Structure 1
Amino acid sequence: MNLLGLLAFVALSGGAYAIEAGKDQSNSQVQFGYAIDLVNFTSIQSYNCLRQKGYTYAFIGVYHPVGDGSVLPRAAANIQNAVTGGFHVFPYFLPQPQSRKSGAQQLGEVIEYLGTYKLYTKQIWLQVTSPINWPNNKQGNVAFISGILQAANRYNVKVGIYTNWYDWEQITGNWRLDGHQLWYWSVFGTGFNAESAPNVDDFRPFAGFTHSHGAMKQYGIGLYDCQANFNRNIFVSQNAKFAGESVALKQ
């Protein structure tokens, strides 16, 4: 399974829970940090509330993969709200792999859009999930992803990969990709009761992603709290490398 249809990381939940960042359930020597991800527009007050519950990073969707793909018009305001609400913020990019536009063109739209609003980031996350939405052409899919990575290099932007072992194998044929951080998903369904454990004990090496301590894990989707719909994630605190690469607001 994966994050849902057209708007990716958002899955709406019918109920509300009093949700706080979870406690480490694995080795006591490992300390985890907590993050949210979402795509729908969220208020500063909601971000403030979530920040007070222990989440420190926000990963915010910026692209709509419908038709040929387009930038989400309120993404910049959403990012600005999250920064004001106290989060380190990273954009994530769900491309349209069946677009008439190349992956490089789509990424260019995102970077230029953010620049228009004076939002600058050293890292963006690329979502490679939902094999059904990708062409049945693994070689072509690898070329599409490669085009995005090459374009990011020209923009001097690092790319993290959001996927898991199954999606990556189905979409790319287990293409080995080295030198990129991993964000993997592991959930049993939508909602608080369908979360996996808030640890990385279920990590399995694949392609060039070989070590769980360098990864971030999405363990819950379709959550609702602080008047916001969001998903939540953990990462190993002492190995987090992206703290200084979040979105910067420049005047």
Structure 2
Amino acid sequence: METNHAMKFLLALFALVGAVSAGADGLDFIQATSVATMQCLRNNGISFVIPRIFTSLGTIDQTGINNVKNAHAAGISYIDGYLFPCLATRCGSGGQQVKEALDALASQGTKIGTIWLDIERLAWPANHVSNRAFIQSMVNEAQARKQLVGIYSNYYNWQDIVGLDYTGLSHLPLWWAEYDGEKDFGKYRSFGGWAKPNIHQWAGDQAGPCGVSVDWNFIPA
């Protein structure tokens, strides 16, 4: 299962970067974006988008799902989505949250390439063991549904949430968050068993093209 998952991701990734010799620019964002705006982003050199599809409050992000649908309609080829897990006791397990997000996409007749699990410091318990189990349950649900899945995090978030010694998910692709202003992996500091990331989120909360407030991402050639 894991080898097949990695191969599918790499094939998609190679196809993406192979089409753009200097690398691929992408965005993640949460604001509502129309088909026309998505077309504008595409025309401004944006190769991939990653809307939020589930919020830290434990709710489906309908705006994000609409953004996924509009990105498809606009002809953007590479469309992922990210899930910001809810850690409150009233929320379901990690696996249940992934199920809800994927069910919502399916029920609305759309899909994403990879679901990225947003692992950053916000309300996580201090217990690394339970946090690891929570994240693993999300991964298990995605893989059981044959959904490509990856991890969004960085050195300090990983250290605080699961511990730097935890390498149990290093077979998954890594979306590395580091606002260093550089469209490369030059300042990457290894953690969690990842020798290098797959995507670099290099700037956040920016006024992007076409009137969209964005985080900037990059995949090198």
TM-score bracket relative to the smaller structure: 0.7 to 0.9
Number of the residue aligned with 2:29: 38
Structure 2: segments with no counterpart, 5+ residues: 1-20
Unaligned stretches of 5+ residues in structure 1 = 1-29, 188-194, 238-251
Mark the CA change 1:98 to 1:137 in structure 2 (over 3 Å): closer, same or farther: farther
**Is residue 36–residue 230 contact of structure 1 (8 Å, CA) maintained in 2?**
yes
> What's 2:189 paired with?
204
Matched to 2:206, the amino acid is L
Counterpart position of 2:150: 160
The correspondence of residues 226-245 of structure 1 with structure 2, limited to 5 A, is 226-237=210-221
Q: Among the aligned pairs, what percent are the same residue?
A: 26
1:62-82 per-residue CA deviation (whole Å, 9 max, x = no partner) reads 11212xx01012332211111
Deviates more, 1:165-174 or 1:96-105: 96-105
Change (3 A) 1:121 1:51: closer
| Displaced runs of 4 or more, over 3 A | none
Hey, which of these two has a bigger chunk of helix by percent?
A: 2
- Residue 71 (structure 1) aligns with: 60
2:133 aligns with 143
Tell me the distance in 1 between the aligned counterparts of 2:112 and 2:55.
Answer: 19
The two structures have a TM-score, normalised by structure 1, of: 0.74
Is 83-92 or 102-111 further displaced after alignment? 83-92
Equivalent AA in structure 1 for residue 125 of structure 2: P
1:26 equivalent in structure 2: none
SS class of match (1:108): helix
- What is the aligned-residue RMSD (CA, Å)? 1.6
Task: Provide the C-alpha distance between the structure 2 equivalents of 1:75 and 1:196, rounded to a whole number of angstroms.
Answer: 26
What's the CA shift for 1:122? 4.7
* TM-fit CA distance, 1:39: 1.6
Change in CA separation of 1:158 and 1:34 when aligned onto 2, cut-off 3 Å: same
The aligned amino acid for 2:199 is: M
Q: Secondary structure at the match of 1:217?
A: strand
Alpha-carbon distance change, 35 to 99 in structure 1, aligned in 2, over 3 angstroms = farther
The question of whether the paired residues in 2 share the 8 Å contact of 1:97 and 1:141 is answered with no
Q: Indicate yes or no: 2:208 matched with 1:216.
A: no
Distance 1:107 1:170, change over 3 A: same
2:52–2:83: 8 Å Cα contact kept in structure 1?
A: yes
